[in-house]
Structure 1
Amino acid sequence: MIDRRFFNLALGGLLSVPFAHAQSRRIVKVANPNSTVDVSQAFVTCGRDPRLKFYESEGLDIEYVNMSSQTQAMLSIATGQADTGALVPALFLPAIAKEPGLGLLAIYNWLPRNANVVVVDPDSPVRAISDLAGKRIGIRNQGDGGIAQLQLMLTELGVSTQNIDFIAVGDGGLAGSALKQKKVDALVTYDTAAGRIEAVGFPLRYLPLPPQYEKLPAGWFGFRKKDLKDDRKTVVGFCRGMAKSSLFATTNLAAALDLHWSLYPESKPKSTSPEAVRKEMKTILAQRRINWVRRPDDPDPRMGASSAGQWRGTIASVAKSSGNPLLPQQIGDPANIFTNELIDEINDFDKAAVVRQAKSFKA
């Protein structure tokens, strides 16, 4: 729980500053909770390449500001140390409930499908999530949010959540071994973590998510409310550049990885061959890649859009996972936390042209 003392301590030393200027381009500072810029951020970064100019065409460039945690990253946006960054609902919603004056809005839904996955060994007799009642479920640790996520899935399916044995199995090879050795019947994790299990040699089979749960978005980029009024052009330009970059990366992931590494060479692992690194990252991002953009059956095809209904579902999910049943009342109207006001402007570009460019691109 985020209390006022923690909130004030986390803000310590952060001063409000406007968008930075560099020569003729504005530098948009992006809060980075990962401490280093890694290749999973290629869906944002590839558009910086001078051969694409997705941000440059908007009069912008981006600069990552490294942070030590998701909480620090979020608060750095609120106070102006950074201009934008990814908002994680599990932290963002309790923070808004506790501090309504935080001044942040979720603007761009960069991960429009649920990033949680349930996986089994390819030879497992388990065919559906509804088969998991009474089973042993692997999670990363006993504080892992996967417990609440699986409970939400089973509740939607009308399956009892009683008698499920959650077992901490760690990440990567440890989790893969636990599944292979039948210490657990399934793993509940998120898409890139499952990709890392596959990358170290453990094949997985992904169980279909419940239909309503699958449609819950997983991540947004947020801005200060005042910047929508004071610097709307910059907010729209950044999100439009990110939309183009996401579409390019989804269409041609190999090229996006190469472009990212050309811009951030320090983020490329040196211990293995370039071919091995590229293969590993394509495996890790295989599921995440298809979640960067809209799918044909999405009711709103606009990149970055979300709805009040989706937010109500997300609020209900966080209320359950955080153990705070009062969260929906504390948040109130979803308009307090998100807006689609800029979405039409953000989508004002030729998507087919970006796809053609990605398909024909040669690094």
Structure 2
Amino acid sequence: MKRFYLFVAIAYLSGAAGLDATAQTTVRVGWCARTITTAAAPFAVAMKMGWYPRDGIKVELVPAAGTDCVKLVVTKIIPYALSPVEPLAIIRSQGVKARIFYTAYQGNIFGIAVPQSSTINKLADLKQKTIGVVAMSSTGALLARALAASAGLDPDRDISIVVAGEGAQTAALLRSGQIDALSQFDTQYALVENAGVKLRLLSSGEVEHFPSNGFLALEETLRTSHSQAIALARGYAKGTVFTLANPEAAIRILWEVYPETRPTGVDEATALREGMRTLQARMANLKLEKSGVSRWGESSEKSFSAYSDFMQRWGVTQVKVPANELITNDLIDEINNFSQDNIIAMAKAYKNK
């Protein structure tokens, strides 16, 4: 066993050596939220371990809320985005040829949350309530309307949707009673709890079983930058495997690569505890069993078809977009061309400096 870990360490060091000598292309990727959070751990790990440089790319995350993030891809300002499904379905129904080529979050990260002591117990109880979102262009805003409609409410008249910011700002608005509920996502809910407000998720019915964000690109980009798209997703897949195997190491690597993600004004133990809570909220949705797939990034056509039905039924899209127009698994075999066991061993053997 010692020999095996020694082999892993040597492989890592030899691979990392000389990375600066390799020409790297900066690849801008839309991070579909206003700020980079602990959920970016797989990217940070891929950078730190040298997997991206080894494939000749340097990843730059570009924060932008939901639909704005997708617009950056459509207008070719950036080539890729870690995008929610809903904005893709909207632009696809308008004729934009783009697809998710790697599903990152096999479980649904979105949903409606309320303070633990709230009298709101089901979606129908949101009538005449104010729901806070990260931004009006966020997926949370789209989903709040769809979920309200699915509960028999009129989203134009029965609910109010307002911008509530993130983390501590959101928590303050909940404490003051200026908002009654949230339509954000898993890591944001963890940040709100870190700020002292305990939350409770309402049942979202079938939505809870749908996939969430994945790497999105124009079909043209997937044709002309095939190898680059594979390198981006493969590095992320490796980072995901590492993160699931050793989340504490992943958080410390994240702090090194993205120092702005480290909690401020608290001691090391508290920062780590808060970081772990936020990361664990996302880890549950990274696991393959959430969608019943067997390969990293694989998209379940059945799950996407069911989600497309939901979006059309409750007004997110005017028509149902076929699942095969939302996703492609054409790159998945090449993306998964690495040893998962070696990555797990490397993660477990990793020691932070």
TM-score interval, normalised by the smaller of the two chains: 0.7 to 0.9
Query: Closer, same or farther in 2 for the Cα pair 1:35/1:47, shift >3 Å?
Result: same
Task: Find the residue that maps to 1:243 and give its secondary structure.
Answer: helix
Query: Closer, same or farther in 2 for the Cα pair 1:308/1:256, shift >3 Å?
Result: same
2:247 is equivalent to residue 253 of structure 1: yes
Q: What residue is the counterpart of 1:111 in the other structure?
A: 105
- Percent identity between the two aligned chains: 20
8 Å CA contact 1:148, 1:320 repeated in 2: no
Query: Closer, same or farther in 2 for the Cα pair 1:129/1:354, shift >3 Å?
Result: farther
Give, in angstroms, the shift of residue 139 of structure 1.
1.4
2:285 is equivalent to residue 291 of structure 1: yes
Query: Closer, same or farther in 2 for the Cα pair 1:42/1:173, shift >3 Å?
Result: closer
Q: What residue is the counterpart of 1:326 in the other structure?
A: 318
2:88 is equivalent to residue 85 of structure 1: no
Give, in angstroms, the shift of residue 89 of structure 1.
2.8
Q: Which whole-Å CA distance do the structure 2 matches of 1:346 and 1:185 have between them? A: 43
Deviations 1:3-36 (A, max 9, x none): xxxxxxxxxxxxxxxxxxx853542512335577
Q: What residue is the counterpart of 2:50 in the other structure?
A: 53
**Whose helix proportion is higher, 1 or 2?**
2
Which segment is superposed worse, 82-91 or 28-37? 28-37
- Kindly provide the amino acid, as one letter, of the partner of residue 293 in structure 1: K
Deviations 1:147-188 (A, max 9, x none): 7646755887xx644796657593545654676788887644
- Kindly provide the amino acid, as one letter, of the partner of residue 131 in structure 2: I
8 Å CA contact 2:311, 2:317 repeated in 1: no
With the length of structure 2 as denominator, give the TM-score of the two structures.
0.74
- Equivalent positions of 1:281-360 (< 5 A) are 281-295=275-289, 298-319=291-312, 323=315, 326-328=318-320, 331=321, 333-360=322-349
Query: Closer, same or farther in 2 for the Cα pair 1:301/1:28, shift >3 Å?
Result: farther
Deviations 1:182-219 (A, max 9, x none): 88876443212211210111223445542x32121111
Query: Closer, same or farther in 2 for the Cα pair 1:92/1:148, shift >3 Å?
Result: closer
Q: Which residue among 29, 32, 47 is the counterpart of 1:31?
A: 29
Q: Which whole-Å CA distance do the structure 2 matches of 1:358 and 1:220 have between them? A: 24
Measured on the aligned residues, the alpha-carbon RMSD in Å equals: 3.8
Task: Find the residue that maps to 1:218 and give its secondary structure.
Answer: coil
Deviations 1:214-257 (A, max 9, x none): 12111111233234344433322221111110122233222112
2:192 is equivalent to residue 193 of structure 1: no
- Equivalent positions of 1:121-160 (< 5 A) are 121-122=115-116, 129=122, 133=125, 138-140=130-132, 146=140, 149=143, 160=152
8 Å CA contact 1:192, 1:288 repeated in 2: yes
With the length of structure 1 as denominator, give the TM-score of the two structures.
0.72
Q: What residue is the counterpart of 1:16 in the other structure?
A: none
Q: Which whole-Å CA distance do the structure 2 matches of 1:289 and 1:201 have between them? A: 22
Deviations 1:240-289 (A, max 9, x none): 11111012223322211211222234554554444433333323333122
Query: Closer, same or farther in 2 for the Cα pair 1:129/1:182, shift >3 Å?
Result: same
- Equivalent positions of 1:147-296 (< 5 A) are 149=143, 160-161=152-153, 170=164, 172=167, 176=171, 187-207=182-202, 209-210=204-205, 212-265=206-259, 268=262, 271-295=265-289
Unaligned 5+ segments in structure 1 are 1-21
Query: Closer, same or farther in 2 for the Cα pair 1:320/1:139, shift >3 Å?
Result: farther
Query: Closer, same or farther in 2 for the Cα pair 1:251/1:213, shift >3 Å?
Result: same
Task: Find the residue that maps to 2:236 and give its secondary structure.
Answer: helix
Unaligned 5+ segments in structure 2 are 1-19
Task: Find the residue that maps to 2:298 and give its secondary structure.
Answer: coil
Give, in angstroms, the shift of residue 48 of structure 1.
1.1
Give, in angstroms, the shift of residue 56 of structure 1.
4.1
- Kindly provide the amino acid, as one letter, of the partner of residue 290 in structure 1: A
Give, in angstroms, the shift of residue 338 of structure 1.
1.7
Q: Which whole-Å CA distance do the structure 2 matches of 1:79 and 1:160 have between them? A: 36
Task: Find the residue that maps to 2:60 and give its secondary structure.
Answer: strand
8 Å CA contact 2:146, 2:316 repeated in 1: no
Q: Which whole-Å CA distance do the structure 2 matches of 1:169 and 1:226 have between them? A: 35
- Kindly provide the amino acid, as one letter, of the partner of residue 255 in structure 1: A
Task: Find the residue that maps to 1:114 and give its secondary structure.
Answer: coil
Give, in angstroms, the shift of residue 114 of structure 1.
0.9
